[in-house]
Amino acid sequence: MSYPIEDYIINFLARKESPEDVQKLKEWLAVSPARRDELKRWLVVWDIVGMMDVEKISPDKAYQRFMFQM
């Protein structure tokens, strides 16, 4: 099953990534150096909005809050 890249990134940020998620992210990142910068921006925003404690927040709510902050 294939998901949008955002789903793989969210799983990675939430520390719930599967081996498939990691592989898909590596493939996505290999396409362009600009994608590394994009992932870094996701990481910064994720930290800023306090998403690292995802055990208390459902993944859907975390994603909605994250996207609102973007």
φ/ψ region of 3 (left if φ > 0, alpha if ψ in -120 to 50, else beta) reads beta
The rounded distance, in Å, linking the Cα atoms of 25 and 47 is 19
How do the domains of the chain map onto residue ranges?
5-69
Q: How many CB atoms lie within 10 A of CB 51?
A: 18
pLDDT of residue 21: 87
Copy the structure tokens of residue 61.
């709510």
DSSP output for 2-20: ---HHHHHHHHHTT---HH
Q: State which residues of the chain have pLDDT below 70.
A: 1-2, 50-70
Q: How many CB atoms lie within 10 A of CB 24?
A: 20
Indicate the pTM of the whole model.
Answer: 0.62
